Structures are given as C-alpha cells and as structure tokens.
Structure 1
Amino acid sequence: MKRELLTFTLGTESYGLDILKVQEIRGYEPPTRIANAPDFIKGVINLRGHIVPIVDLRLKLSVGEARYDGSTVVIILNVLGRVVGVVVDGVSDVITLPEDAVKPAPEFGAVLDTQYILGLATVEGQLLIITDIEKLMGAREMALVSDMAEGA
C-alpha cells in the first residue's frame, strides 16, 4: 500500500498531508477578517461563490513566524465534508511513500499534542511530518470556522 502526499513547509519543517484532501492550491490573498476569531483563523475568502474559512497552520501549530509574501500559499482542503483553506509557507511536491517508510510518531506524553501526527518519514535526507489533517482541524475548530463562514 502506498500513500500519496502533498508536502509543504512551515518554518523550517516539512509536512505532508493526504493528497486526496486537497482541492486546490492558490496564492495567498488577505482574507476578510472576522471579529472575535482566534488568531489562527485569518478570516474568510469567497471562492467561486463559497465562503471558505482560512486557517494559518503556522499559528495553529506555533511554528515559525506568520509572514505573508510571494511564496505564501493557501491549500484549499476538503476536510470532514467542509471546505477550508490552510496557509503554509510553501508547497514542495507530491510524493508517493510506501507504507513501511512511515514510522510512528514518538510519544511525548501530555507535554506535546501528537494526535494529529500520523507518522514520520525521511525523504531525501529530510524528516517529513505526516499529518492527519482531519484531526488537526479537529471538530472544535471546524465547528468554529463553519459558524464563522456562515456568519460572514
């Protein structure tokens, strides 16, 4: 069994997520802000008539500084039946990994939340963190972004 992943960067780290969750990749445009939204929810955009919440993964995961420049991209995802955009520093590649290339994430106990990490793999000498984007965008956040999108 092989796994197809879209790889992207946040700060100095490389991440991968299931390519089947990806709807499209677009350049970053400042979204419309939503009052009282948590920091990691940047706002909403109108994508061909659909209101799409935009979540900055750098802020959500506390990795790197959130800078918005020409290389900043938004990955439009279909997660748990909802469309959401995630801001990342850059998209790298689409890769295919054999299942045995993915090692389980180490346990850090209560200090670090690793529930959204499916595993780790080494690709071209670099560690790749494979994310469970559905867990990462968890039910609480998805309900929040859904409510905000409907209120926009």
Structure 2
Amino acid sequence: MQVAQDINSAAAFLAFTMGQEEYGLDIIKVQEIRGYVAVTRLANAPDYLKGVINLRRVIVPVIDMRIKLGLGPPVYDQFTIVIVLNIKGNVMGMVVDSVSDVTTLTLEQIRPAPTFGNAIDTGYLIGLGTVDQRMLILVDIEKLMTSDDISVIHKLAA
C-alpha cells in the first residue's frame, strides 16, 4: 500500500464518486476541492483534458476522470467537483461526479486490488477499502496521472 501514512496505522482517503462507483485517494495529495467551473479549452488537447482554470494566478490543467477511465459520458451539474491535486510539484485538477467525505481506513480494511491479467490495467489501484457496507476503490493518483499526462499538459501550456 502506497499512502503517506505509516503502513501499520490508519490512512485517510478522500472519497469521491464516478458513475455508480465510489473511489478513494490519499488525502495528502489533495490541495483543495472546488465546484466545477467552465474551463478554457486548449487546441489539440486529448478529450480527457478539459482545459485549464486560473486558480489564484496559477494555471491549472483539468482532467475529466470519467473520460480518462472510459466510464461513459460525463454529466456536469451542481454536484460536479474539481479535486485540485499536487502531484510531485505539479498542480492539476481532476473532475469527478461528487465528493462525499474523508474516510480513515486501517490496514485490515484494505484488500489487495484484483488482478485481471492483461485484460484490464489495474496498476493504478492500491486496493479495495471496506467500511461497513461501503467499498472504496483506492487509487494511487500518482500512477493514474501518468508522466504522459503531465508531459502532454506541459507541451500544450508551452
């Protein structure tokens, strides 16, 4: 498990939804949470790169995770959220359907990610977290936001 906290203790995850599924990412990577606002589109950008926003004089690229993960067409409404992340010194936003809460999980509550062979890439999954009747798909946001995404963003911003 690759989270910021000690592996023998509890770790905090920001819980968010995309479609019918609930996901979690290490809260340490989250800079802030904002409502979705219109973005400035960039020419020749991949579909999942919605554009950029000006966040207190910092230009922040915004990636729509439903498009990036192939989870169907996104719907932008009053619940749509941009999670602003700080990944290895790069600030970027990810659009999700909604954010619910911060959930603390112990090591015993986290199960290994299932493997599907070569059929499905699960390299960005930390595991599955269970709390009562809830199941969170725990993502390693650094692996999900690949270096390819960051290089595309830098190329377009140049």
Same fold (TM > 0.5): yes
TM-score by length of 1: 0.95
The equivalent of 1:68 in structure 2 is 76
Read off the aligned partner of 1:68 and give its amino acid letter.
Y
Task: Tell me, in whole angstroms, the C-alpha distance in 1 between the residues paired with 2:18 and 2:72.
Answer: 7
Equivalent in the alignment of 1:34: 42
* Residue 4 (structure 2) aligns with: none
In the TM superposition, residue 121 of structure 1 has moved relative to its aligned partner by 1.5
Q: Which runs of 4+ in 1 moved over 2 A?
A: none
For structure 1, list consecutive stretches of 5 or more residues without a partner in the other structure: none
Deviation at 1:127, TM superposition (A): 1.8
Whole-angstrom distance in 1 between the partners of 2:105 and 2:13: 8
Q: Does 1:132 align with 2:140?
A: yes
Secondary structure of the residue aligned to 2:151 is: helix
CA distance in 1, matches of 2:64, 2:111: 27
Tell me how far apart the structure 1 counterparts of residues 122 and 145 of structure 2 sit (CA, whole Å).
Answer: 13
After superposition, what is the alpha-carbon deviation per residue over 1:77-105, rounded to whole angstroms, capped at 9, x for unaligned? Answer: 00121000000000010011001211111
Which secondary structure state, in structure 2, belongs to the residue aligned with residue 142 of structure 1?
helix
Point out where structure 2 has 5 or more consecutive residues left out of the alignment.
Answer: 1-8
Alignment deviations for residues 28-53 of structure 1 (CA, whole Å, 9 cap, x no partner) = 01110001111100000111111100
> Scaled by the length of structure 2, what TM-score is found?
0.92
1:7 to 7, 12, 15: 15
Matched with 1:48 is 56
Query: Structure 2 residue aligned with 1:121, among 125, 129, 132?
Result: 129
Q: CA RMSD in A?
A: 0.9
Displacement of 1:130 after TM fit? 0.2
1 CA distance for matches of 2:99 and 2:155? 28
Would you say the 8 A contact 2:109–2:131 is kept in 1? no
In structure 1, give the amino acid aligned to 2:79: S
Counterparts of 1:80-119 in structure 2, within 5 Å, are 80-119=88-127
Read off the aligned partner of 1:15 and give its amino acid letter: Y
Aligned residues: 150
Percent pairwise identity: 53
Question: Helix, strand or coil for the counterpart of 1:120?
Answer: strand
Aligned-partner Cα distance in 2 for 1:127–1:96: 13
Who is 2:5 aligned against? none
Q: Which amino acid aligns with 1:118?
A: I
